[in-house]
A and B are shown apart, each in its own frame.
Chain A
């Protein structure tokens, strides 16, 4: 085998109170697509950040093409030829596409930026990726998928030897993903080493040659994809026996809703957001809102939480007509909402886990009261244990947790308010397989044991099919179908999305 392009040996990284990486080895060859796998908090992101100079390493060596490097800033890493496209698009939405691609390294002419050259090369780069857009429009004009492509165009142009893709497909649909894969393979042929991080197993098996597994900051092993069956991969990731995993994969039985309706809408509409939605959500029911991105499923959830006005039709809670003017009104009626965008609308990063957990309950109690500290500690500890949130202590800042654990804290925040209706919008996005299953199970458990109504919104169809006892299918901001019982299947949803008005 040819000499390795990248060799990381005995990498250590310690954060206050946590050993994030210990003695991790990682080898990448030129022309290889290598996946980094592990549960949330296993150390994937940390390893990538050490490689790209975001975090200084505490021990170990990194060799690139046989030469030792130790990048101290992302810029240094880039100059060494290591480019990264992060999970959340790290571009400036208010700059044009061309500016985004060349920001910080604009081609110059007589000391001034050569805009003609910038535009010409931007178009050229994007055409290579099969993207044909106006590069003079600001980035926020384009959907996330295009933004992702722009990020990749930027990364690829800097003469990269290594390209790191951190969850690049989490906001892409199937067509876009396929296009991305085509590009990645093309780059692979050019001899680039590619590190691909994703939670989608299918994609990894489709695309990658090699898998390196991490668990709790330690190396589990490095394998050829062809020789590692999926179940074994999951078993190694969670550190369990194969048989345990098989059990884990079987979903507990679905919840059986009661006759009582908690919330219902009758031809509800919200100007510019929702055209026509009629639904009934029963107590003890897990209902799914299915549909493509932009179909109005998130907007429906937001309407039920008082974030969007009901401008037409009716909304009833427990049989009484209600107008939810703001989130607090919805909360008072026992509704809770875990938003889709965890970072933007969920966590309050600089507050502690404890403060984040009690926040909604405190908001309901009002500004001029105060939950006693001892009570806060009790609540926080109770949920940290119950939801198995991985924290060093309850007063750790939430921004330092992994995505899955942040999500659990947000869920804990709402469970603390004892809701009757819990809305989970994309609760499993960007979260590892183990935690995903935990959250799905929890949704069903809550409906079963506490008679809670749960709305489950997800882009992953099989996840909803497994969890929900009823599915509302949305298209073009209207409800187009309602599936129950046997109809709740991927096939049923597809047909409803595709197949006219039935």
Chain B
């Protein structure tokens, strides 16, 4: 009982409930939703696996976004940085028809993640050093980023025929799940360990809650901001690898399109306030998976891709309302309206 109460009051409760509701809905209305099949070479197949695989990019982005938002900032450039990172890795490996890589793949990957970090540092410079508001600062790269990606690919969609490149977002023979699931898991584990073993999390929260007081206790606020934006850029760089590997091409116009919005939504669903301060990484991860589950559910129900955003918006409103304190208060009031009326009646009788 005590445990149950602890859970219901924990920050993870609502995100988990939202996801559970979606899953139950799926279980009832989508045939074979929870079925998982194993192929002969040991790979797992099924809708649930599908959701996990597809949500890995969003999970990674939302990790970085959570930390940025916790400092009461925001990074709306991640979608564009995904495009830049994709362009870098594809241009370096090259689109040779004979399937030969122009640059060793590992080097190309490092370079694209490095570019991601560089983009993050640029954002950090604008926010931490020049004190530009985060939305405006990252808006610069959001609008310019896709142009940079176009420059790199010279306006072409570079298709990579080098076979191993596909394995970043595909299955390496002998593994049960696609590689990007493991990448996402590794990132989550990495962040979890860093939060546990260092005091970075505490400092990020302090900066987000009260930057002046944080400065007065000797916290290097500039450094903390640089760190979170760089990390967000790193996450976007990794996501760029996955997204380009998925289609084996760099599409500067569409890679990572609108992903920044989904990432922000994932963070919000996870219970982290956009005003900064306390953050919930677990919540963000669940939030990201929830968004992907919703998308997959809607496809499974036959909602067409054009109409998808509308239905998604309705579902998001519902989820946000469940989490809103005000809405809950209103609900409580509505629930208690009978009692209130009775009390008022009793008073009226007393007066009479």
Q: Which residues of A contact B (CB under 8 A)?
A: 307, 326-328, 331, 337, 339, 344-351, 355, 359-360, 362-365, 367-371, 413
Contacts and interface: CB of A to CB of B under 8 A. Distances in A.
Contacts of B220: 326, 328, 367
B200 A348 contact: no
Nearest to B210: A348
A240 B277 CA distance: 42
Interface stretch (B170-178, B211-219, B231-239): B211-219
B199 interface: yes
A370 B212 contact: no
B209 A350 contact: yes
B219 A363 contact: yes
A362 B212 CA distance: 17
B195 to A, nearest CB: 10
B205 interface: yes
Contact of A360 (B210, B212, B218): B218
Interface string B184-206: 00000000000011111011011
Given A350-B277, A351-B205, A359-B206, A337 B216 contact: yes
Given A359-B202, A367-B223, A349 B209 contact: yes
B278 interface: yes
B199 A367 contact: yes
A194 B212 CA distance: 36
18 contacts: A327-B216, A327-B218, A337-B216, A345-B210, A345-B215, A346-B213, A348-B205, A348-B213, A351-B202, A359-B217, A362-B199, A362-B202, A362-B203, A363-B217, A363-B219, A364-B218, A365-B199, A367-B198
A360 B217 contact: yes
A347 B200 contact: no
A138 B213 CA distance: 26
A367 B200 contact: yes
Contacts of A328: 218, 220
Contact of B202 (A326, A355, A413): A355
Contacts of A307: 216
A363 to B, nearest CB: 4
Contacts of B196: 370
B217 A369 contact: no
A364 B196 CA distance: 18
A441 B197 CA distance: 39
A368 B220 CA distance: 13
A327 B218 CA distance: 5
A403 to B, nearest CB: 15
Given A331-B218, A350-B278, A345 B213 contact: yes
Given A350-B205, A351-B205, A371-B199, A344 B218 contact: no
Given A348-B205, A360-B217, 20 more contacts: A326-B220, A328-B220, A331-B218, A337-B216, A345-B210, A345-B215, A348-B210, A348-B214, A350-B209, A351-B206, A359-B202, A359-B219, A363-B203, A363-B217, A363-B219, A364-B218, A367-B198, A367-B200, A367-B224, A368-B200
Interface string B18-30: 0000000000000
A326 B200 CA distance: 20
B290 to A, nearest CB: 25
A369 B216 contact: no
A345 B199 contact: no
A339 B216 contact: yes
Contacts of A326: 218, 220
B312 to A, nearest CB: 31
Contacts of B214: 348
A370 B212 CA distance: 22
Nearest to A371: B199
Interface-centre pick from B198, B205, B210, B215 (highest chain A CB count, 10 A): B210
A327 B213 CA distance: 11
A368 B219 CA distance: 12
Contacts of B216: 307, 327, 337, 339, 345-346
B213 A370 contact: no
B256 to A, nearest CB: 30
B202 to A, nearest CB: 6
B339 to A, nearest CB: 15
B37 to A, nearest CB: 44
Contacts of B200: 367-368
B198 A348 contact: no
